[in-house]
């Protein structure tokens, strides 16, 4: 709707922006670099952040950056995941059927990963998202993937991704010590600051093909204040502001318009 009014070629604040056009903040770039090291050395990493701070974006960028002829990325995101379906999910992505008993499926997965490593010369990366919602048994099973060949060099790299409570309410507890002790790298994604928020908005507008200013500096101040630098919230505020401006036939969005939208059309922001 507003895209035509502002003469945009693409929708700017959406989740399906191609990976090569996503805004890469210094913090995201640093996290991608650290995860690249983890995948190269076949290590175990944990990624945590508040909701909406870019965990999924980070994994998309990692997958985009890893050469497809050298890496295979397996990704699961299921809050109801059980150990049996953990293996079934990874095997399915490899085009293989799982066994009824999870021990058999685990051995099949490890054998296939070893074949990929030795025959295809690829490194396998297993990513488990929404990990803060998973129970201890499933998290333990994910960690068990590292335990092949009597605790020698791992066949694969593991990346556990979740909201802040994954660390605060689970991994830091004594009953998760066995998992915590195997973690090679802990990555925490921070919110964007004011300058990064402006660059984030500019990058998304550039993707949309917008060649002129749409948000004043004051509007960006308000967007940062309302969103607290959380990318998902920046998207919501910007999208609603663009829609409102289109309805009002205004081609420049100032701080008063952003505040009006936040106060009258985005009540959930303040819940």
CA atoms within 13 A on the CB side of 69: 0
Quote the mean pLDDT of the chain. 92
Residue 120: pLDDT over 50? yes
Residue 80: pLDDT over 90? no
Q: Give the residue, 70 or 1, on which the prediction is more confident.
A: 70
- Tokens 């004043």 locate to 216
Average pLDDT over residues 137-153: 75
Q: What is the pLDDT of residue 171?
A: 94
Measured between alpha carbons, how far is 118 from 98 in angstroms, rounded to an integer?
22
SS3 at position 13: coil
Q: DSSP character for 130? A: S
Instruction: Please give the backbone phi and psi of residue 44, each rounded to the nearest 5 degrees, phi first.
Output: -120, 120
- pLDDT band per the 50, 70, 90 thresholds, residue 267: low
* Tens of pLDDT, residues 195-212: 999 999 999 999 999 988
CA distances from 118 to 11, 144, 197, 268 (A): 43, 21, 44, 52
Q: What is the pLDDT of residue 102?
A: 87
- Tokens 């980070």 locate to 58
Q: What is the pLDDT of residue 150?
A: 45
- pLDDT band per the 50, 70, 90 thresholds, residue 47: very high
Residue 152: pLDDT over 60? no
Measured between alpha carbons, how far is 72 from 20 in angstroms, rounded to an integer?
19
Q: What is the pLDDT of residue 148?
A: 58
Burial class (CB in 10 A: 0-12, 13-18, 19+), 267: exposed
Average pLDDT over residues 237-260: 96
């Amino acid at each position: 709707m507003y895209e035509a009014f502002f003469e945009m070629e693409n929708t700017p604040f959406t989740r399906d922006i191609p990976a090569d056009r996503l805004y890469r903040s210094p913090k995201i770039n640093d996290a991608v670099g650290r995860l690249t090291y983890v995948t190269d050395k076949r290590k175990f990493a944990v990624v945590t952040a508040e909701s909406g701070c870019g965990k999924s974006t980070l994994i998309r960028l990692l997958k985009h950056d890893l050469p497809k002829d050298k890496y295979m990325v397996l990704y699961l995101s299921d809050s109801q995941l059980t150990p049996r379906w953990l293996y079934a999910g990874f095997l399915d992505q490899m085009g293989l059927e799982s066994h009824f008993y999870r021990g058999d499926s685990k051995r099949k997965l490890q054998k296939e990963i070893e074949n990929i490593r030795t025959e295809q010369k690829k490194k396998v990366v297993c990513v488990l998202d929404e990990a803060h919602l998973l129970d201890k048994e499933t998290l333990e099973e994910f960690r068990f993937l590292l335990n092949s060949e009597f605790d020698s060099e791992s066949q694969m790299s593991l990346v556990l991704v979740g909201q802040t409570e994954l660390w605060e309410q689970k991994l830091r507890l004594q009953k998760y010590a066995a998992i915590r002790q195997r973690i090679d790298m802990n990555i925490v994604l921070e919110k964007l600051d004011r300058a990064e928020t402006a660059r984030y908005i500019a990058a998304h507008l550039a993707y949309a093909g917008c060649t002129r200013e749409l948000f004043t500096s004051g509007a960006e101040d308000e967007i940062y204040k309302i969103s607290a630098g959380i990318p998902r919230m920046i998207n919501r505020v910007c999208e609603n502001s663009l829609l409102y401006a289109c309805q009002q036939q205004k081609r420049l969005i100032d701080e008063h318009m952003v505040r009006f939208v936040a106060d009258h059309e985005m009540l959930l922001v303040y819940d």
